[in-house]
């Protein structure tokens, strides 16, 4: 450790990269800095550390510095080093599945198949970042143009030089020349040349109609209609003649859920998702780190639409411009279609995260909390008459019961039956102990009841000289009361946030009743 401290103390003040190593000499984190000494010192200051960075700091036994002439060189070097070494604590974008492509098989009667690692000579279509969109385009090609889907050809088909396709409600024989025409139509579909495809189909429809081949003319008309319907249903049209990416994210606890829309000349053509954990809570830096690492391995469009500014924005734009060999600009919209795209992406992220995470995020928004209520403690008082008054507290962590942190209370200072005084006592006892032991506080305190119970809990915290996020849930109308408003909050009965609060309240009630019965049975004996 003395050697590490000396290295940090004498670190260069130049721009460059730093490589943290563990006791085995493995590189566990790589970063870049404008001033290496200042940046590396940051990791060892307790006030800067969150759980992940504190864990990293404990494992660092050595550091290596690589000095560069400029920050932009440091950015490029950092991306190369991360890709080469895959350090444990750097963001890992490997969770993103490899791009998938579509190609025709090299057979007499080709089929469409999916490939993830195309050969150099393969003529592929894509990439498709969404599995659903890839399967849809294959199904559409098979349905509209009735191409072969089976892996095996019968001996009869091979001998006759024709293919028998089951295209219900009839079965047709297709010669190689006719089949080749169908493949060309599918190629136009896969290339996204819908205008050329419709034009070709319309011409064929007219030719068949002129020859009074009405069955084939009707088939072409149906194909044209289907293409128009698919286009209207699937595509989000925006009048652009260049490509864009839209990036947004959602923070849930220590996780960040990123999503990215790929927009191909005005059409949303794909979506990618990443779940990441970062060493810091600086949102501008987090977004910057994600962008730099993502585009080192992916094509970068001329415009990237973001929810807010990022750290070193001009520098990162220059870095991406060097990688992409074209000018890259960032857009942070405040109105219009681009803002709507960011909002749409955010909705997609909320829907994508697990139900537990979604309920916590919704609860944070509805209650106006400064942080996600990952840890919630709920109190309930239970009694049968003036004797045997008890209380219970349950703790939910990440939307799930944490039974190791449940607590039972016998009421000690209250005579007779007073839910108000009993609630004040147990809340006071619980948080007096936490304050004395310097234990971790919950993110949200909740009491079963209405305004009286909320007032009791508020008084208890006031005695301790504390203010903390506190709510009461009244069962009759499922109203939420808070300290800061005289009006209650009513959530939609189907909302995930309300369902979570109900589960917590019901569990507190169950735990209190169970304890109350246990105490009563002991008294009877």
pLDDT average, residue stretch 11-34: 91
Q: How far apart are CA 458 and CA 483, in angstroms?
A: 8
Domain boundary among 331, 353, 375: 353
376 in Cβ contact with 444 (< 8 Å): yes
Beta bridge partners of 396: 376, 401
Q: If 0-12 CB within 10 Å is exposed, 13-18 middle and 19+ buried, where does residue 346 land?
A: middle
128 and 59 inside one domain: no
Q: Average the pLDDT over each of 75-79, 384-388, 430-434 and give the range with the smallest value.
A: 384-388
* Domain-located, residue 509: yes
167, pLDDT greater than 50:
no
The confidence score (pLDDT) of residue 154 equals 55
Quote the mean pLDDT of the chain: 81
CATH code at 348? 3.30.420
CATH code at 477? 3.30.420.340
* Domain-located, residue 341: yes
**What share of the chain has pLDDT > 90, as a percent?**
26
152 and 30 inside one domain: no
* Domain-located, residue 93: no
* Domain-located, residue 90: no
424 and 498 inside one domain: yes
The string of pLDDT tens digits covering residues 120-138 is 677 777 666 556 667 777 8
375 and 478 inside one domain: yes
312 and 344 inside one domain: yes
Q: Listing from the earlier edge strand, what are the strands of the sheet with 16-21?
A: 27-33, 16-21, 62-67
Higher pLDDT, 350 or 42: 42
374 and 456 inside one domain: yes
168 and 41 inside one domain: no
* Domain count for the chain: 4
461 and 371 inside one domain: yes
Domain hosting residue 335, numbered range: 244-353
* Domain-located, residue 283: yes
| Cα 287–Cα 367–Cα 280 angle in degrees, nearest 5 | 25
Q: How far apart are CA 134 and CA 132, in angstroms?
A: 5
209 and 348 inside one domain: no
* Domain-located, residue 239: no
Domain boundary among 353, 379, 396: 353
**What share of the chain has pLDDT > 70, as a percent?**
83
Q: Distance between alpha carbon 175 and the CA centroid of its chain, in Å?
A: 49
Tally of CB atoms within 10 A around 130: 16
Q: How far apart are CA 294 and CA 38, in angstroms?
A: 26
Q: How far apart are CA 26 and CA 121, in angstroms?
A: 39
Q: Answer yes or no: pTM beyond 0.75.
A: no
pLDDT average, residue stretch 510-517: 90
Q: Average the pLDDT over each of 240-244, 347-351, 509-513 and give the range with the smallest value.
A: 240-244
The confidence score (pLDDT) of residue 437 equals 86
233, pLDDT greater than 50:
no
């Amino acid at each position: 450790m003395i050697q590490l401290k000396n290295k940090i103390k004498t670190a260069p003040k130049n721009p460059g990269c730093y490589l943290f190593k563990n006791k085995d000499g493995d590189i566990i984190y790589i970063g870049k800095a404008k001033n290496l000494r200042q940046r590396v010192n940051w990791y060892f200051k307790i006030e800067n550390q969150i759980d992940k960075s504190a864990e990293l700091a404990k494992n660092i036994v050595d550091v290596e510095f690589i000095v560069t002439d400029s920050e932009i060189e440091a950015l490029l070097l950092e991306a190369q080093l991360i890709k080469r070494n895959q350090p444990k604590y750097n963001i890992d974008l490997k969770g993103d599945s490899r791009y998938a492509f579509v190609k025709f098989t090299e057979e007499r009667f080709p089929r469409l198949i999916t490939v993830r690692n195309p050969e150099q000579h393969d003529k592929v279509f894509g990439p498709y970042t969404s599995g659903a969109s890839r399967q849809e385009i294959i199904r559409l090609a098979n349905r509209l143009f009735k191409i072969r889907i089976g892996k095996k050809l019968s001996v009869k088909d091979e001998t006759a030089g024709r293919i028998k396709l089951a295209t219900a409600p009839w079965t047709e024989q297709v010669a190689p020349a006719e089949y080749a025409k169908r493949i060309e139509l599918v190629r136009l579909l896969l290339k996204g040349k819908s205008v050329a495809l419709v034009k070709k189909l319309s011409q064929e429809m007219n030719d068949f109609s002129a020859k009074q081949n009405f069955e084939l003319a009707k088939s072409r008309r149906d194909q044209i209609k289907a293409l128009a319907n698919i286009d209207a249903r699937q595509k989000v049209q925006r009048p652009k003649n260049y490509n864009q990416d839209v990036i947004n994210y959602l923070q849930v606890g220590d996780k960040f859920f990123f999503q990215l829309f790929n927009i191909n000349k005005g059409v949303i053509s794909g979506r990618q998702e990443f779940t990441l954990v970062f060493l810091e809570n600086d949102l501008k830096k987090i977004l910057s780190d994600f962008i730099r690492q993502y585009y080192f391995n992916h094509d970068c469009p001329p415009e990237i639409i973001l929810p807010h500014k990022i750290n070193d924005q001009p520098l990162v734009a220059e870095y991406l411009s060097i990688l992409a060999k074209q000018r890259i600009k960032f857009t942070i919209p405040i109105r219009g279609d681009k803002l709507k795209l960011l909002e749409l992406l955010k909705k997609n992220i909320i829907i994508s995260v697990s139900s537990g995470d979604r309920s916590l995020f919704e609860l944070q928004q509805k209650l106006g909390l400064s942080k996600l209520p990952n840890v919630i403690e709920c109190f309930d008082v239970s009694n049968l008459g003036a004797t045997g008054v008890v209380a219970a507290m349950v703790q939910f962590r990440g939307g799930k019961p944490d039974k190791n942190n449940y607590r039972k209370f016998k009421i000690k200072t209250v005579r007779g039956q007073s839910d108000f005084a009993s609630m004040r006592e147990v809340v006071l006892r619980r948080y007096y102990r936490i304050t004395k032991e310097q234990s971790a506080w919950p993110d949200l305190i909740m009491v079963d009841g209405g305004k009286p119970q909320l007032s009791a809990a508020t008084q208890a915290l006031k005695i301790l000289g504390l203010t903390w996020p506190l709510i009461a849930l009244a069962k009759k109308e499922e109203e939420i009361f808070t300290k800061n408003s005289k009006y209650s909050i009513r959530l939609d009965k189907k909302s995930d946030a309300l369902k979570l609060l109900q589960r917590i309240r019901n569990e507190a009630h169950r735990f209190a009743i169970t304890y109350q019965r246990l105490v009563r049975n002991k008294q009877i004996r």
